Amino acid sequence: MTDQPLIKATHLHHAFGGKNVLHDVSLTLKPNEIVTLIGPNGAGKSTLLKILLKLLTPTQGHVWHKPQLRIGFMPQKIHIDDALPIKVNRFLELGLSSPKHGGNHSTTLQQTIETLSIQSVLETPIQQVSGGEMQRILLARALLRSPELLVLDEPVQGVDLNGQTELYHLINHIQQQFGCGILMVSHDLHIVMKSTHKVLCLNQHICCSGTPQAISTDPAFQTLFGEGYEEVALYEHHHNNSLCEHTHD
């Protein structure tokens, strides 16, 4: 696996109607790394995500993508009209409708279905699946193009606590199996921070960043979210990440 970054953003600034929402944000997303972006409402997470995906041009700064970067995106939620007769298997097949880099479509689809354990809902109308099943379906669709970077926007929204834990274990399994980079946006600090290599704490700027252990005791983090998060430092996935930056603005 190459060490070439997947995305590199430098000195991003953005304003809407003269109001600054992002100030001097720089970050790098790498292969084989799970990065979690956290921050309170109004911190600029959605704006930053759009800029990183090149859906929005920053007021200042630059975003570089690895050439021909394949990105799989899992949205917070999706609305499908009840009048639309579409089953889960057809919804997934539509995700293969455009060309992808190599591979066999039917094999890719079957492998993804097995990885996400959604065989039992394939013939179910998509409007009738549970919240947890829907998140697995959206995750499966994001994986169909064999992404080098998987972007997950609030991946456990609408899922109960047990389902959240299962989904985060699944995300870790996917990262290890496919070797992709993962960027997660989330408010669910306790569980997410156990399932990530690096945390970026955003409040219009990167107020702190580093390993879960370092972040949980950082004064900037505690000021933003309050104390009492020491337990999130019980990080369960071992890796060599001691050189992660740990910065304060």
Read off the CATH number of the domain in which 58 is found.
Answer: 3.40.50.300
Are 65 and 176 within one domain? yes
Question: Dihedrals φ, ψ of 160, to 5°?
Answer: -70, 170
pLDDT of residue 151: 96
- pLDDT at residue 217 is higher than 70: yes
Are 231 and 123 within one domain? no
Which residue matches tokens 């065989």?
119
Instruction: Tell me whether residue 213 is in a domain.
Output: no
Burial call 146-180: b when 16+ CB within 10 Å, e when fewer: bbbbbbbbbbbbebeeebbebbbebbbebbeebeb
For residue 246 the two structure tokens come to: 């740990």
C-alpha separations of 32 from 49, 93, 173, 191, 221 in Å: 19, 27, 12, 20, 25
Domain boundary, last residue among 147, 166, 183? 147
The percent of residues above 70 in pLDDT, for the chain, comes to: 83
Instruction: Tell me whether residue 212 is in a domain.
Output: no
Q: What is the pLDDT of residues 110-168, one digit of tens each?
A: 989 998 999 999 999 999 998 889 999 999 999 998 899 999 998 887 788 788 888 88
